Structure formats: C-alpha cells, structure tokens
Structure 1
Amino acid sequence: MADPETEVVIPEDETAADEEMGEAEGDNGAAETAPGGLEDIEPEIPVRTTFLDYLRSPIIELKAGQGDDIANLHAHQGLLTASPFFARECENFTENTRNRRIDLTGEDLAATASVIEYLYKGDYFPTLTGNTNMEYDATVPQNDNDGVGLLRHARVYTLAKKFEVPQLAALAHRKIHLTQSTAKGEIAYARFVYKETSPDDEDIRKPVANFWATRSHVLRHEAEQEFKRMCLEFPQFGFDVLSLVLDAQEKRSQRQDGQSSGGAGRKRQRTIL
C-alpha cells in the first residue's frame, strides 16, 4: 500500500525572506566585482612631439631663388608646418602624393635657406652668441658700404613676415640692430626697407627714419649724394625723416621757451614796416 502523500507548505513570509536574501547576496556580489570608478581614472599624459617625429615626416622640395641663382632645397614637412604659410601649402598634399613640391621662385635663396635653418635650429647664421653679440661672419666686408650684413637680416625679416613666423621676424630685427655698417651701407638698407616692406610696418621703418633723422652730420660728410637719391626715389622716406627732425626741433624750442619765460607761451615777433 502506498504511503500517504505529505504536502509541505512553505509560509509566504519565509519565501519572501529567501528572495530578499538572494537579492541581497546578488547585490553584494555585484558590489564586490563592480568597479568603484577610480580604476577608470588614468593620468593624462601630454603628447610630446619629438624631433624623431619631425624626421619621420615626408620630405618637401622647395624651389627657391631668382634668375640664375635657383636651387631645390629640401625640408621635413613636420618642421615646415610650424609656418602657417607652409601649413596651408602642405594641405594640398595627400597620403598618395609622391612628389611634394612648393614653388618659391622669386624669393631670395639665401634668405629662404635661413628660414629653413631657423625652423630646424631655432636660429640662423650668424647665430647669437650673447645678448649683444653674433658669431663672426667672414662674408661681410670690414667697411660694409653695400650693406651686406644689414640686407641679409632684412631679407630674412621680410620672408619671416610672409611665412608668418613672428619669432623669426623678431630675431632678424634684433640682429639688424647688432650689425655694424657704414653710412652708405645704411642707405642701401633703407632703400630695401622702403621698397620691400609694407608702409604700415613701423617696427622696421621707423628705426630707419629715426637713424637718419638723428645723424645729420653723417649725411653731410659721408653719404649726402646717396641720401639725396634715396629721398628722390622714396619720398615717404624723406617725409618720415623730416617729420622726426621737425618734431625734435619743436620739442627743443618748447623747452627753451619754457625755461626763458617761466613756462609762458611764446609770442610771435611782430614785424614793423
């Protein structure tokens, strides 16, 4: 005879308690394995571009020079793009571009080479050897009547402006002020500045005019004819120099009048006929 079936009845309260316990254990297990958030936080390491990265970039051919003095220069694209001008030119190249060329014909070859030298080294020959010195340049004559030294840096200055490298323009301008020259050499430099730079570029034009406005004795004895030709060729130069001379004379007159009259305004002398 079969045993009577026994029905086991589980109270609802115990079932709910078991479910709650299971959920709690599940939550605890998840809590033990779930990340607390700190594991995902890693220090941000800035990306540093090394010189090796520059050297791995494609080679750009630069055709530069004037007339018979034209040559093909080469530089790494990674360094050239420090110049916004070259960066825009390089945007025309794709990964499949085999021959990457930029035409700079018409630009001074030596000055272009100096720009590239600066992009690689942070300076160009003759380099600075101190706050007020540059390394010796044997190509500059002792009596530089042609302004060889000044014109070298002036050409670099104008190219730095064109290629949008303000740090290089400032460096070239500094070297101009450290370069020794003669009165005739200064006139050659002034002619280049007033021919090749913008009329609004007072950074380089104003010192030129001020140099001649404060050196009238040099004009009379060393470069009078050159100065005359310069004024006829570039009337703006003559006007700038004359304005500075008149400003200086006016200031001297005001000081003298103030000292002699105790600060009272000077009256115009009347002419009696």
Structure 2
Amino acid sequence: MFKRSFAASREKAGKARKISKRSFRDDTKQRMREALNDATPNSSPSLGGSSPKLNSAIVTIAVGKDQRLFAAHEDVLSRSPWFAEVCREQFFASPGQRRITLPDEEPEVFSAVLEYMYKGDYYPRLLHDRKRNTYALEDVEADLTMQSISPQLDSGKKSGGLSDHAVVYHHGVGDYVLRDTVIYCSALRFGLADLQRLALRKQGLQSGIDVATILRSARFAYANTPPSDSRLRAHYLALIIRSRKTFKRSGTMQMEMEKGGQFFFDLFVAMANHIDDVGEQGQVSPSHYLLY
C-alpha cells in the first residue's frame, strides 16, 4: 500500500505544471483585490473606523415610485445627519412602525448608498494600487492609469447597454444618467461627504460614455447640487474642455447648447478662462480656438 502511494506521488511530481497566462494588469488587479479583502470589514476610515452596532432598532425605508422596501439598523442610518434627524423624529414610534419614505430616490442608487454605510464602499469596489498610485474598479476591464471619463460620440444605442454599473435609469429624468453622479447627489442630500468623494473618483474611471449621457448627467448634476458645491459641476466642465474635439462634433451638444441654462454659461466662463491661461503661457494663440 505504501509503495503504491509513493509511486503515485512520484508520477504527480513528474507532471509539468501548466503556467497560467495572466497579463500584468490581471496580476495587479488581483493583488489590489486581495489587499482590499484583507482589510477588516466595516472599518473604513470614512465610517469612523468602527463597526456599526447591529443590535439597534430596524428601520424600514420605502424607496422610489414603486415603494421598494429596504431594512437597515438605526445606528447605521444615523451615520448620515439627514437620517439621524429623521430617526430622532420617530424616536417614540414602536420598532415595527419606524418607516422612512424616499419617493424621489432610485432603488438601485439607494442600495449603493446603504451598502456604503455598512461596508465603506459600494459595488464595484474601488481598488487602489499603492505602488503605482493608480485606481481601478473591481471586475471592470479598464486601463488602470485612466483618471478621467473617456467620452464617445453618440452611437444611437441604448445608454443602458454601456454597463450595469455605469448608468442607471432615473424616473425623474426619464432616461439613463451616470450612476455615480446620482449617488453623489444622494450623498450630498444625506450629508455623506466621504461618499461624495468616492462617487466622484469612481465616475472618473468610467470610459466609453456617449456624449448624450454625459450632457444629460451634467444637467442632472446642476439640478441637484447647489452653486456652492462646485466639485461635481467642475468635473463636467473640465471633462468637456478636455474632450472638446469630441463634443464639437456632436449634434447632441449643439441641441443642448440651444437650450442654454446655467451649465452652459459656466462652460463658457470655464472655456474662456482656459483659453486665457493657455494664452498667458504662450503655448497657443486664442484665435486657435475659433470655430469655423
């Protein structure tokens, strides 16, 4: 019996091991994912570095026009100043009757917000390669060095076909908008500043977004952020200036500009400032930007 076992082991040892063909990008992402998985759950710095108390009262949240139901612990919801105030107003309600209604929120977006409040991130998670100081989205095939949205001309295809995580159908808009933009605006409403920063960084890693979706999302951002909150607005202005050749060829851009609004006035100011800055550096004459 021992002899047979020894022979079998020799045969296994003699077999050539097949080398897995993995790209450098796959290996890098795997290391980033393993580092993220090694972190202690519910210990994100954005959530105060402590796990939530899961023995607090359960609150029911009805979201969207179809009133989709979510359940969450009161202590977790109270990480948000907005939810903390609502929970205080329902302090004397019996545990089974504590209910919050959010008719203007999208269930897919609120699900991401709730996931963040429990875990410190939402799917797809943000992966950080500390050695190269680059970021990537979990399970998303994208260039690890990409730091900003890559727009493309309208293809006529349904925007929702881009990817399940990049866009979300918003009933208030009646069309698809960038999911991270909606999450940013919800985070602003609920007082989750760290979630705002996270959503903005994730949105910068998206690619292949059509011009119509970008402009629609920019209008949504302007409609759901105050003038004092300039980060998301500035993100869209910088994106259009940086990718002006693509937007210049877009018929959608022309139609949107005819509608006007604060967004396009800000774009004009930002574009003028950009031309002035470039002109002062002596890199190009302002007349170079004239449209013929």
Query: Is the shorter-chain TM-score for this pair beyond 0.5, marking a shared fold?
Result: yes
- Inter-partner Cα distance in structure 2 for 1:93 and 1:143: 39
Structure 2 SS opposite 1:209: helix
- Aligned counterpart for 2:230 among listed residues 202, 209, 220: 202
- Structure 1 residue 188: Cα displacement: 2.4
Question: Per-residue displacement from partner, 1:119-142 (whole Å, max 9, x unpaired)?
Answer: 111101111123411123699634
Contact 1:147-1:189 at 8 Å conserved across structures: no
Match of 2:148 in 1: none
In the TM superposition, what whole-angstrom CA distance separates every residue of 1:184-213 from its partner, at most 9, and x where no partner exists?
332222122122222222111012112212
- In structure 1, what is the equivalent of residue 217 of structure 2? 189
2:220 & 2:79 partners in 1: Cα distance?
Answer: 27
The letter of the residue matching 1:183 is: V
Instruction: Specify the code of the residue in structure 1 equivalent to 2:161.
Output: P
- Structure 1 length as normaliser, TM-score? 0.66
Asked whether the 8 Å contact 1:62–1:102 carries over to 2, the reply is yes
**More strand by proportion, 1 or 2?**
2
8 Å CA contact 2:211–2:253 kept in 1: the answer is: no
- Residue identity in the other structure for 1:184: A
Counterparts of 1:251 and 1:96, CA distance in 2 = 59
Report percent identity of matched pairs: 26
* Greater percentage in helix: 1
Secondary structure of 2:161's aligned partner? coil
1 CA distance for matches of 2:55 and 2:280? 65
2:261 counterpart residue number: 235
Contact 2:53 2:75 in 1 (8 A): yes
Q: 1:93 to 1:245 in 2, by over 3 A?
A: closer
Q: State the match for 1:11 in structure 2.
A: none
Residue from 66, 77, 80 that aligns with 2:74 = 77
Q: How does 1:60-75 map to 2 (within 5 A)?
A: 60-66=59-65, 69-75=66-72
Point out where structure 2 has 5 or more consecutive residues left out of the alignment.
Answer: 1-47, 129-133, 142-158, 169-175, 284-292
Tell me the residue number matched to 2:119: 121
User: Which residue pairs with 2:6 in the alignment?
Assistant: none
Check whether the contact 2:178–2:214 (CA below 8 A) recurs between aligned residues: no
Question: Within the alignment, does 1:168 sit opposite 2:166 as a pair?
Answer: no
Give the greater-gyration-radius structure (CA). Answer: 1
Deviation at 1:111, TM superposition (A): 1.1
| Alpha-carbon offset, residue 178 of structure 1 | 1.1
Give the one of 110, 115, 122 matched to 2:108. 110
Separation (CA, whole Å) in 2 of partners of 1:81 and 1:143: 32
Tell me whether 1:91 sits opposite 2:88 in the alignment.
yes
Quote the Cα distance in structure 1 between the aligned partners of 2:74 and 2:50. Answer: 14
Spell out the pairing of 1:3-82 with structure 2 (5 A cutoff): 51=51, 54-66=53-65, 69-82=66-79
Bigger mean CA offset, 178-187 vs 152-161 = 178-187
State which drifts further: 135-144 or 201-210.
135-144
* 1:129 counterpart SS class: strand
Contact 1:158-1:196 at 8 Å conserved across structures: yes
Residues in 2 aligned to 1:143 and 1:81: alpha-carbon distance in whole angstroms: 32
- Equivalent AA in structure 2 for residue 206 of structure 1: A
Superposition RMSD in Å: 3.2
Letter in 1 for 2:280: Q
Indicate conservation of the 8 Å contact 1:231/1:237, yes or no.
no
Question: What is the aligned residue count?
Answer: 206
TM-score norm. by structure 2 comes to: 0.62
Aligned-partner Cα distance in 1 for 2:220–2:191: 20
